[in-house]
Amino acid sequence: MQIELQCRCGQLRARLDSDRAYAHARCYCKDCRAYALWLGADDILDAQGGTALVATPPQALRFTAGLDALTCLSLSENGLLRWYADCCGMPLANTTRDSQMAYVSLMSGSMQADAREAAFGAPHCVVNAGSATGPVRSTPVATTLTAARIGVGVIAARLRGVRNGVFFRADGAPMRVPHVVDAPRD
pLDDT digits (tens, 9 = 90+) for 138-160: 999 999 999 999 999 999 999 99
Widest Cα–Cα separation across the chain: 44
Residue 5 and residue 170: Cα distance in Å, rounded? 24
- Give the pLDDT of residue 176: 96
Alpha carbon distance 153, 35 (integer Å)? 26
20 closest CA partner among 169, 139, 128, 162: 162
- Average pLDDT estimate for 116-120: 90
pLDDT-derived band at 115, boundaries 50, 70, 90: confident
pLDDT of 122-136, one tens digit each? 999 999 999 999 999
Please list, in sequence order, all residues whose beta carbon lies within 8 angstroms of the beta carbon of residue 63, skipping any fewer than 6 positions away: 12, 13, 14, 70, 166
Position 186 pLDDT exceeds 90: no
- pLDDT beyond 90 at 180: yes
